[in-house]
A and B are shown apart, each in its own frame.
Chain A
Amino acid sequence: MRLVFDAQTRAGAFSLDAHFEADGGVTALFGPSGAGKTTVAQILAGLLRPDAGRVTCDGQTFVDTARGVFVPPHRRRIGCVFQDGRLFPHLTVAQNLGYGRWFAGRASRGGSLDRVVDVLGLTPLLARMPGRLSGGEQQRVAIGRALAADPRLLVLDEPLSSLDAQRRLEVLPYLERLRDDIGLPMVYITHSADEIARLASRVVVLAAGRVEFAGPVRDAMARLDLLHIEGAEDAGAIVEGRVAAHDAADDLTRLAISGGELIVPRLQLPVGTRVRTRIRSRDVMIATVRPTGLSAQNVLAARITAVDEEYGTAVHLRLACGDDELLARVTRRALRRLDLVPGRAVFAVVKSLSFDPAGLGVRTAQPSDRPAVDL
């Protein structure tokens, strides 16, 4: 799958002028509200005609204003999951799921509805009416309905933003299964760094209708702070690892990562499961000698690779830790007094309790779009 998006449009005081590309895997579209994320989604789906531009997907042109091409939404096979579900209120869950499938008709390749129902855990809901579902259930049905239409690309417009934290945790694993088990390319719109950390392989950052950054998720997570946008406090590094052991007595789990071992709150996952976690830069402390007598459980040997300037009193240190990169946010004063310069060997200290389950993702299968961290 290869998507090339290039569109300019104007609505009142807002103007969008965005160019980006997406390939297989999950491309996150990140930015503050009003950045134009939903406008991009609508242009992709065909619900909005841009003033100018060209959108192509795998060689098929959806929009080309120069040549007067505009493919209507029903001929694009782009599945959409909206913030608010938008289930058809007069149809049962089963009928909602079957809706797009019916229009996809004989042209659709295999991929049975049963599988979608199974992956999303919808069996108990099939006979219900949408009005009787919880928010999380509605979103799962909405995702299933989009999938059942056999889309070539799934566009999700902040699918979790209308849900509370509990419901988000309920839906996120299903999205991971879509990515890993079904391998469907997705454009995932969000303003949550946690969701990006769990799901995305590439990130496109939008601000005021312009693309500020586009690149792999690791680079993006490290740069969120530099972009001076919402979520600056959430900058962090993505580390991949594997569940090595559980410590039942202390209710902890040991994760093997390339640079050593991380002890995190107990995960309900089998040993050997690949996980992906985000360590926020503000949760990482730096010591120049191996600290002792410390309550923090994770002390990782690392080497400073770069010092990123930041506005205000803090700077960001980039650390090489095994094959992974860590980020640490420290004050200028600490930088000066500890003489933290690139090349210096240090210890990164992370509290176990700073791991947020919302930022912890599971890889149920090995995708081909990015290399695995081999342990």
Chain B
Amino acid sequence: MSSVLTIRDLQVSVEDVPILRGVNLTLRQGEVHALMGPNGSGKSTLAYALVGHPKYEITGGSVEIDGQSLNALDPCERARLGLFLAFQYPVTIPGVKVSDFLRHAVTNIRNPHRKEGEGLIPMREFRKELKQLMEELGMDTEFARRYLNEGFSGGEKKRMEILQLALLKPKFAILDETDSGLDSDAVRVVSEGLRKLAGPQMGVLIITHHERLLEYNVPQYTHVMLAGKIVETGDATLAHELHNHGYAQIRERHPVEAAEERDRQQRFATATAGK
């Protein structure tokens, strides 16, 4: 049976400021969706709210996987249900070896009912799998011995996210600007990597400003976000159009949201001026 991630009328606040104002989106395993929108429209907020960032408070609506609500679950429980976020800015964790971290992660994801302190997956098996995946993604296996994201270049960090995606094989993957800040070679590597991984077992939500990632991973659906709402949904041609012409036409077609966007920008400017 194919799984489905259902986002229904989702409202999210950050420090009591409402950001998302009723987002609806249905993502099925095997589908590729693109999520686009101008800066500040709430794309990353959606990503963080889905993954369970404690600062992003769900004030209304719901997120469900196959009917099970995620609203009250912590990030670890959500991950064990098959949700994955490739972070826009992966954090550095000094002293934690990539391989140690990944072995814990993969053990928990594959054995979601594992109790703390129960054994990890066998080392040999894990090493073999990791080595193979790294080679497929064109990564130096030396990376497994490095500390997590410490001293990694932008491209290396993003590739590390894709490696995790490959290893954890989530049902639903959200990629938050995985292609930003990369040179074109790195974008190609990441795009090809994703194309290999995405298949009938994975639903993918790609948040992006660029087209490159979408060339390799053609979306069936493109959603456009403006001022905390999805205002339009189309197919791959919509992504193409937005890339070429920007958001002016979107704002024209959705004057209420465009006005809200201006208000937000003003409020933000006032708030920062007061600091």
Asked if A and B bind, the verdict is no
